């Protein structure tokens, strides 16, 4: 079955530092606090500039989305209680709940939803393009939103479980405090007086929340724990209940502290060979050079050295859940330095070449060292440019660099195409096009289920053969929880939904 159930998680710019409030702190007898550790701080609380992935919990705390992604991989009603498509899947009709109010007392209406969607389309979010296929949004009455598409978008419902589906109060739209003082209908309210921007975010329970079954705590604290050592220290000191681990280096110590590792394999790590037309680096326009880069990497060795074996080697970006997944493509490129040198010589680079790439400390110095060493062995010199974490994603998408190491979510099928492959995809910043890829995208977009599955498999094989990327492995994503807390992992996002953290007992 062809599945359209995944997310796009842009790993984004980071803030530093730790702070905070110890787990279990309470403001009054009988109250409960959930303290989480996250890798990144939000760049803004304005929904029109929102991101997802590791920044999702900050937004889920204060805003509701139109639809809800579940740990089972399904899409459920949320602010939209029902939805339906017309026969050719170009008109989506949403039924909006009539019993929801924002924390400023404003009532949720279809017109408010319409305004939020239009703001996201023209906003500053790196995911704004997800709604680019929408040609019109109408609100014929208070509970109906009609969305018209120029062509079918099989990922649209998924998008509405993420940042494009965040709905804020209209009072926030033109507010000077929109970036720091969110007004939503979500389970919590940001306490701006005790929040330290970039370091610690404190929320109190929304007393009038429309869906109290998802409101498991009286207080929520999210501390920024970008540094793995800071995260480990917080775990050992009992200063959190749940922590997203930036790496798998310390899993044994985390478990030794009595914590549980909750894991999934959502992300892949590897090289993005972005400049496939050779705009900045002509060598990358030659498929033989891109293939040589793929043959240069000892993926099994890198997985052991960098992830202690916690993951699965792959050379494809389509995940196991995808209709396009082919297990044989996990090993399409083997570790073969001599083959890499032959390909470079055939392409006219027998004397080597240089590729400029950004480096960012957050992603680990050891990773960049191994990449540079293995590429150097086949004659490719990496010119590393140290980049501040807060500028890393913006520089990639500018685009400033022809290639980069990166960790990205492996999204199934159509959403992955719109994330990494299509000419308008977020992580296709050079807007590279290939006629065969374009034809396969059309086949997937307009075909029936069987045709879509066939097209996804063909597309996956083609981009592996053409070496659009050089994946290393699907890495285990780990969220640690203490003895008092449980969580269910999402198959579609790097960070679990805040509703899926619950106290034990």
Query: Where do the domains of the chain lie, and which CATH numbers do they carry?
Result: 33-259+482-503 (3.40.190.10), 266-476 (3.10.105.10)
Whole-number pLDDT of residue 13: 31
SS3 at position 116: helix
Distance between CA 130 and CA 69 in Å, rounded?
Answer: 17
Answer yes or no: pTM beyond 0.85.
no
- pLDDT truncated to tens, each residue of the chain (505 aa)? 233 333 333 333 333 233 334 455 433 345 799 999 999 999 999 999 999 999 999 999 999 999 999 999 899 999 999 999 999 999 999 999 999 999 999 999 999 999 999 999 999 998 898 999 999 999 999 999 999 999 999 889 999 999 999 999 999 999 999 999 999 999 999 999 999 999 999 999 999 999 999 999 999 999 999 888 999 999 999 999 999 998 888 999 999 999 999 999 988 999 999 999 999 999 999 999 999 999 999 999 999 999 999 999 999 999 988 889 999 999 999 999 999 999 999 999 999 999 999 999 878 789 999 999 999 999 999 999 999 988 998 999 999 999 999 988 888 788 899 889 999 898 999 999 999 999 999 999 988 889 999 999 999 999 999 999 999 999 999 999 999 999 999 988 989 999 999 999 7
DSSP one-letter string for 51-62: --GGGHHHHHHH
Distance between CA 210 and CA 37 in Å, rounded?
Answer: 27
Nearest CA to 48 out of 132, 120, 152, 138 is that of 120
The side-by-side arrangement of strands in the sheet containing 91-96 is 80-85, 91-96, 144-149, 134-141
SS3 at position 386: strand
Chain centre distance of CA 252: 26
Distance between CA 284 and CA 226 in Å, rounded?
Answer: 33
Distance between CA 226 and CA 245 in Å, rounded?
Answer: 9
Chain centre distance of CA 197: 22
């Amino acid at each position: 079955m062809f599945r359209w159930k995944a997310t796009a998680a842009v790993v984004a710019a980071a803030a530093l530092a730790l702070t905070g409030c110890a787990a279990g702190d309470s403001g009054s007898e009988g109250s409960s606090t959930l303290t989480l550790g996250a890798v990144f701080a939000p760049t803004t609380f304005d929904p029109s500039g929102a991101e997802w992935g590791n920044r999702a919990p900050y937004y889920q705390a204060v805003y509701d989305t139109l639809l809800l992604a579940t740990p089972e991989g399904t899409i459920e009603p949320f602010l939209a209680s029902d939805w339906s498509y017309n026969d050719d899947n170009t008109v989506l009709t949403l039924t909006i709940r009539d019993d929801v109010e924002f924390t400023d007392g404003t009532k949720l209406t279809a017109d408010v939803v319409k305004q939020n969607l239009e703001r996201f389309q023209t906003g500053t979010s790196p995911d704004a393009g997800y709604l680019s296929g929408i040609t019109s949004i109408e609100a014929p009455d208070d509970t109906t939103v009609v969305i018209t598409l120029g062509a079918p978008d099989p990922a649209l419902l998924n998008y509405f479980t993420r940042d494009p589906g965040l709905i804020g109060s209209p009072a926030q739209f033109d507010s000077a405090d929109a970036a720091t003082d969110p007004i939503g209908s979500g389970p919590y309210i940001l306490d701006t007086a005790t929040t330290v921007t970039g370091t610690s975010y404190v929320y109190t329970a929304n007393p009038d929340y429309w869906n109290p079954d998802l409101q498991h705590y009286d207080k929520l604290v999210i501390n920024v724990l970008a540094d793995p050592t800071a995260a480990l220290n917080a775990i050992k000191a009992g200063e959190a209940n749940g922590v997203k681990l930036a790496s798998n280096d310390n899993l044994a110590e985390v478990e030794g502290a009595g914590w549980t590792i909750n894991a999934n394999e959502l992300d892949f790590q590897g090289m993005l060979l972005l400049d496939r037309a050779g705009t900045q680096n002509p060598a990358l326009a030659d498929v033989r050079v891109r293939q040589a880069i793929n043959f240069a990497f000892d993926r099994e060795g890198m997985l052991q050295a960098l992830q202690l074996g916690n993951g699965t080697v792959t050379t494809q970006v389509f995940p196991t859940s995808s209709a396009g997944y082919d297990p044989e493509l996990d090993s399409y490129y083997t570790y073969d330095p001599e083959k890499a040198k032959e390909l470079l010589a055939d392409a006219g680079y027998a004397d080597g070449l240089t590729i400029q790439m950004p480096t960012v400390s957050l992603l680990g110095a050891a990773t960049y060292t191994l990449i540079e060493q293995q590429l150097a062995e086949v004659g490719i010199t990496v010119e590393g440019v140290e980049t501040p974490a807060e500028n890393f994603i913006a520089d990639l998408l500018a685009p400033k660099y022809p290639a980069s190491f990166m960790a990205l979510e492996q999204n199934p099928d159509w959403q992955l195409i719109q994330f990494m492959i299509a000419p308008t995809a977020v992580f296709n910043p050079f807007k590279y096009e290939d006629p065969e890829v374009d034809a396969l995208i059309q086949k997937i977009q307009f075909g029936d289920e069987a045709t879509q599955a066939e097209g996804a498999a063909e597309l996956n094989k083609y981009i592996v053969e053409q070496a659009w990327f050089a994946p290393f492995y699907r890495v285990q994503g780990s969220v640690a929880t203490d003895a008092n807390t449980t969580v269910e992992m999402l198959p579609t996002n790097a960070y679990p939904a805040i509703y899926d953290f619950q106290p034990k007992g």
